[in-house]
Structure 1
C-alpha cells in the first residue's frame, strides 16, 4: 500500500505545481502590456488572416487595430508597424535592440547561410561588412572613379531606345538591363552575361541576359515570399509551398555564377602579383580579405557580392518605372521638369550627381513617387534581442517586427 500512496502524493504535487505555474504565468501576462491585435488560433496563430498579398492583409488589420499590431504567426510573436512614427521607433529610436534578423530559410539557403548583409544576424560579421561598405565600397572617391561606367551604359541605353522610337516598348526590360549592366560592371568588373553576339563587355560570359534576369526575378521573389516554415518551424521540413526547393535550385545557379566570377578575379590577382590594383568591388573584397579582423570566408565573399549586385538593380528599375508611369498621366509635370532641366543643365551634357541639389522639382518628383509607390511593401523582418518597452508597450525578446511601408 506504500507505493500507491507515494504515487498519489507525487501526482498531487505535480498538479499543484502546474496550477501555481498557470497562476504565475497569467499574472505575469496581465502585468505586461501588449499592443492590440486579433486573438490567435491554436498552432497557426493569426496566419489564417494573411492572404496572397501580406502587406494588404496587414494594412486592413492596421485599420482596425491601429498603427502597431500584436500578432502570432505559429508560436512566434510578431509586431506590425504601420506608420512612420512606429517605423521610427524600431528603426531609429530602438535600432540597437532590433538590429538583428530572425533565421529565415532564404538567409540559410540563398545568401550562403546568413553570410551576406541583408540576412546576417547582428554581430562581428555584420559590423565588419557595414564598415567595408562605408569606408571602401561606397566611399566618394571609389564611386567617383566608377562614374564613367554609368555614363557609358546610359549612352548605350538611350541609343537602344532611339532605335526603337515610334514602336511599343516594354520599358521595364530596358531599365532592368541598364541597372543590371551598371551594377555588374561596378561590382564584378564586367557584365558576365551576354546581351548580343557582338557584345564585347559580355564576352566570355557564363549566362545570357535572360538567364541573368531569371535569376534576379527568382531572388527577389524568394526574399519577399511569406514562407510558412519560417513561422512554424516544425512545418519547415514539409516545404508545403515548395519554397525551399526553389531556394536550393537558385543557389545552384548562383554557385555556378559566383565560382566563375571569383576564379577569374583570383587568376587576375595572382597573375599581376605586386602590380595588382583593385578595379572593381570584388577586387576590393579580395584585397581586404587577408587583413580583416573577421575572416572573409568563401561564402562571405559570395554573400556580400550577391548583396552588392542585387541591392541596386531591382529597386532602381521599379522607382524609375513608377516615375515615368506617373508623369505620363500628368503631362504638365513633364513640361515643368523639362524646363528645369533645360534651365539648369541645358541640352549639351548629362545630368551629374553634383547637379541634383540644383534640381529641386525633379528631386520632389522622385521623392513623391517613392512615397506613393514603395519598392518594398514589407521591409525584411527585424527581431528583438532583449526585452524592452516601445511606445508604452512591452516587447519580449525574440519578437519579430515587420514594417509595412
Structure 2
C-alpha cells in the first residue's frame, strides 16, 4: 500500500538549526506552487491503469499549515481522484504552534486532515529563543488545546534534546510538560548541526555549549523510561506513541514500504526504483508549467541495496527485524551474510536475538549508526 508525501517548502521564518528544503513564505509563489503540486499529483496515474491503492498522506515541510485549508482540501482531493485512497486513511499535517487557531484547525479537519503534528521542540522559553522559534511554550500548549477543540484525536508533538545550554533538568521539564499536554504521539530528536548552520555561529558568539555526549545519552534513556511510565510505548528509535497511534506513514519508511513524494525536493521509492525531485521551488514550478520532468535523480536499487535497507530501517523499530521474513523476501540467508559482523554487538548487549527476530536494546539505540553501518 502506497504512502503519499506532499512537500510544502514555506516557513514564516528560517530556524537557525534547520537543514530541510524550505524558504520564506511568499503568497504569490505559494499559489503557483500549489497549482504545480496538484498537477504533479494528477500526473501520477497512468491513463490506462487502475488507481494504485494508498492509505496515508503526509504534508511535510517547511510549514504546510501556512497553506489555506481550501488549498489543503484541493490537494487531498487530487490524491483521492488519482489514487485509490483507502477508508480510514491517515492524513497528517505538520504545523507550528504560532500558525494555529481553533478556527484554522477546524477547517483543516473539514478539509480531510485527521492527524496533526506540532513542531514544539521545547517547552522552555530560553531554548525556544536560542533556536529562533516564533512560538512560546504557553503558545504550544494552547495550540495543542486548539487541535483538541477542533476535534483532533490524533496529535503528535516534536521535542529536541542536546540543545545549547540544555541541562538534564531542563530536558526533564520539557518532557514532563509534554506528558501533561498528553499527545497521542511524540518524536524525540537529538539536535544535529549541519556544517553551515547559523546556530553554530550563534553558539560561538554567545559562548553557548552542548552538554557532553554522556549527558545526551542520559537525556535520551531517561525520557524513554519516563514516557514508558506515562503510558507511551517506544516503537522506533526517536518515536513513542499510545497504543495504535504510531505514525502509519512513517512506518512505511521503516518496514520496506513504498511511497510517492510530490513537490520540490521530494523523494519516492517504488518497485525498486528511487527518485528525487528538483529541490529549488521556482525550478520545480517552472518545470511543471513547461510540462518538463521534475525528477532529477533516479536510480534502480540493486538487490544488495534493497536487502541492506530492509535490515537497517527495520532495526530502527523497537520490535526489530524478522530475519526469516527478510531472508524469504530477498532469497538470502541474512544471518549467514551479516551474522559475523553483528556478533560483537550481540556480545556486548547492544543487539538482542530472540528466535528469528533481531532488535536493538535501548543502549544499542545509542550506537545505532555504528551498528547499521554493517548493512551499508
Using the size of structure 1 for normalisation, the TM-score is 0.23
Richer in strand (by share): 2
Give the number of the structure whose alpha-carbon radius of gyration is greater: 1
Q: Decide which structure has greater helix share.
A: 1
Structure 2 length as normaliser, TM-score? Answer: 0.25
Structure of higher RCO (CA pairs closer than 8 Å, 6+ residues apart)? 1
